[in-house]
Structure 1
Amino acid sequence: MSMASVFLVLSLAIVMVGSVSSSKFDELFQPSWALDHFTYEGETLQMKLDNYSGAGFSSKSKYMFGKVTIQIKLVEGDSAGTVTAFYMSSDGPNHNEFDFEFLGNTSGEPYLVQTNVYVNGVGNREQRLNLWFDPTKDFHSYSILWNQRQVVFLVDETPVRVHSNLEDKGVPFPKDQPMGVYSSIWNADDWATRGGLVKTDWAHAPFVASYTGFDIDACECPPTASPDDNARRCGSGEKRYWWDGPTLAELSLHQSHQLLWVRANHMVYDYCSDSARFPVTPVECLHHRH
């Protein structure tokens, strides 16, 4: 084996230490409520919402930094009033959270995706976009990439949102709380579709969301570990992970162009532009380049 090959093997070994990667639901996740609303067909999981209950699942572990991906096929037909969510969240009132929320629609209308970022318990950072495909016909991948420099929301590997670390501008950044990975489907007809004007039509129930391609490649945090232990394990102190590489400190030029395309053609709401809600522009909006 050449020295170059030895170096490559050692490098890969270093990158993989402490991280988790898998593709099977039951290795990574567990139902968290309404177990009778789950159906398993091979590698595909289906969760349903009816007028009795929604359903949800959660990861068995918590993580700090890495990439989480799930492939989802959203509710077909008239799904107005329903919300299917895929998100990461820490615990407690001062929690951090990264949200994908898929807002149902009446047949033929665009499916809206709302993203949000909570830092230290404070959210109100909503963005909404319509997708450039029908998300009910096939599975599409939805990912959250999280490192110490940025949080990136991706749809089929196309970035649709970036939340950059602007601590040097006095903006707090989520980097010290382990987060679980969650998904749920529930009735939100008080706000989800046209601000709550369109209510859920239970004649179309059950509403079914399908999942496959579960993947968590992230730094796992044992439940007994202290914050300092997690910082040492998952931060840049002891080990370097692939998501800490210099190429992932910011978007590539190609990704920047993709994000600009998404914003120009598919974004329908950005909290940074909502002067009625925010007469004073939020600080991060003044500095985010995207």
Structure 2
Amino acid sequence: MRKNMVLVFLLFSFFLAASAGNFNQDFAITWGDGRAKVLNNGQLLTLSLDKASGSGFKSKNQYLFGKIDMQIKLVPGNSAGTVTAYYLSSLGSAHDEIDFEFLGNLSGDPYILHTNVFTKGSGNREQQFYLWFDPTKDFHTYSILWNPRTIVFSVDGTPIREFKNLESKGISFPKNQAMWIFSSLWNADDWATRGGLVKTDWSQAPFTASYKNFNAQACVWSSGSSSCSSNSSGSSSWLSESLDATGKERIKWVQKNYMIYNYCTDLKRFPLGLPTECSVA
């Protein structure tokens, strides 16, 4: 009996590995009228934007906690006015959400990586960064670690931001609502580039972003319960993972050299006092 259970587990682990990165299996195109395409037998997905419409996709599964990686190559050239969004979200007015948004640029200017965390419908926790590479030249890995202890945003394995579970301090943390993975490419020239001063140059359309190598070690939510995957060694260590000393030092390096906005230092925006997590995190 034990041997059979081991065999079943090994087969299940193989299925997880085999299905990782297959967009046909893991995602559904949700809008765009043909502007989103799954290519290479499910190994590549592209989103495009023109003056008529953008496009987007959504995971077939909902997740309640996970360690989720996606490799993305962003819109090249003059992408001013465009936004490529990649995020986890539940639905409804009291939704939870964990955001990566890439704000387009004029040719030669850096992209802005915009991050945010919503809990029970409330966001206003923006941090923004420049990247230390050109994200349009090649694919780079953008990761979200979300477990009961923390949320960590990472780029190519380098953590750039952490949002800890501080419920003991009266701060909401997203842990009760399962979320889908979404991504979209859309026109936001009313705010995306220099606060809307630079408009989308439609002569550059169609704009295209590309995705590959999706991978999720995660708890899949279905019918009111979750089933959590393990890695090839049978470990679910990501469920209790948090930043070690090295990770904390890397965050300090990124935030010192590449952070361009932090809501926790914006006294003009919060004249009555900064959000509580800013002083206790």
Shift of 1:39: 3.0
- Gaps in structure 1 of 5+ consecutive residues: 1-5, 235-239
Cα drift, residue 253 of structure 1:
1.2
> 1:52 and 1:35 mapped to 2: Cα distance?
10
Deviates more, 1:35-44 or 1:212-221: 35-44
Give the letter aligned to residue 35 of structure 2.
H
What does 1:132-211 correspond to in 2, within 5 Å? Answer: 132-211=132-211
Question: What is the distance in 2 between the residues matched to 1:78 and 1:270?
Answer: 26
Task: Return the alpha-carbon distance in structure 2 between the equivalents of residues 37 and 217 of structure 1.
Answer: 29
Instruction: Report what 2:109 is aligned to.
Output: 109
CA distance in 2, matches of 1:244, 1:208: 34
Paired with 1:96 and 1:41, the residues of 2 have a C-alpha distance of 31
Give deviations 1:206-241, integer Å, cap 9, x for gaps.
Answer: 00001111112211011x32xxx44xx56xxxxx83
Q: Quick check: 134-143 or 31-40, which moved more?
A: 31-40
Question: What is the CA–CA distance in structure 1 between the aligned matches of 2:276 and 2:202, rounded to whole Å?
Answer: 42
- Where does 1:74-89 land on structure 2 (aligned, <5 Å)? 74-89=74-89
Q: Is the 8 A contact 2:24 2:38 kept in 1?
A: no
Please identify runs of 4+ aligned residues in structure 1 that moved more than 3 A: none
Q: C-alpha displacement at 1:242, in angstroms?
A: 2.2
Cα shift at 1:30: 0.7
Counterpart in the other structure of 1:265: 257
Structure 1 segment 36-115 matched on structure 2, within 5 A: 36-42=34-40, 43-115=43-115
Partners of 1:22 and 1:217 within 8 A in 2: no
Contact 2:23 2:38 in 1 (8 A): no
Could you tell me how far apart the structure 1 residues matched to 2:149 and 2:33 are? 38
**Partner amino acid, structure 2, of 1:51:** K
Match of residue 270, structure 2, among 273, 278, 282: 278
Shift of 1:68: 1.2
| Whole-angstrom CA distance in 1 between matches of 2:126 and 2:138 | 26
Residue type at the aligned position of 2:279: L
Tell me, in whole angstroms, the C-alpha distance in 2 between the residues paired with 1:197 and 1:161: 28
**Contact persistence 1:63–1:180 (CA under 8 A):** yes
- Cα distance in 2 for residues equivalent to 1:221 and 1:259: 31
Summarize the alignment of residues 183-262 of structure 1 with structure 2, pairs less than 5 Å apart.
Answer: 183-222=183-222, 224-225=223-224, 229-230=225-226, 241-245=236-240, 248=241, 250-262=242-254
C-alpha root-mean-square deviation of aligned residues, in Å?
2.3
> Which whole-Å CA distance do the structure 1 matches of 2:38 and 2:209 have between them?
12
CA contact (8 A) 2:20 2:213 kept: no
Partner secondary structure for residue 172 of structure 1 = coil
Q: Any gaps of 5 or more consecutive residues in structure 2?
A: 229-234
- Once the two structures are TM-superposed, the CA of residue 254 in structure 1 deviates from its matched residue by 1.2
Q: Taking structure 1 as the reference length, what is the TM-score of the superposition? A: 0.86
3-state SS of paired residue (1:198): coil
- Match of 2:28? 30
Aligned length: 266
Shift of 1:40: 3.6
8 A contact 1:103–1:114 mirrored in 2:
yes
Deviations 1:56-91 (A, max 9, x none): 000001010111111000000000000001000011
Cα displacement string for residues 3-42 of structure 1 (whole angstroms, at most 9, x for unaligned residues): xxx9xx79x87x97xx896221111101010141023441
How far the C-alpha of 1:255 sits from its partner, in A, is 0.9
User: Secondary structure of 1:129's partner?
Assistant: strand
Q: Is the CA contact (8 Å cut-off) linking 1:84 and 1:186 kept in structure 2?
A: yes
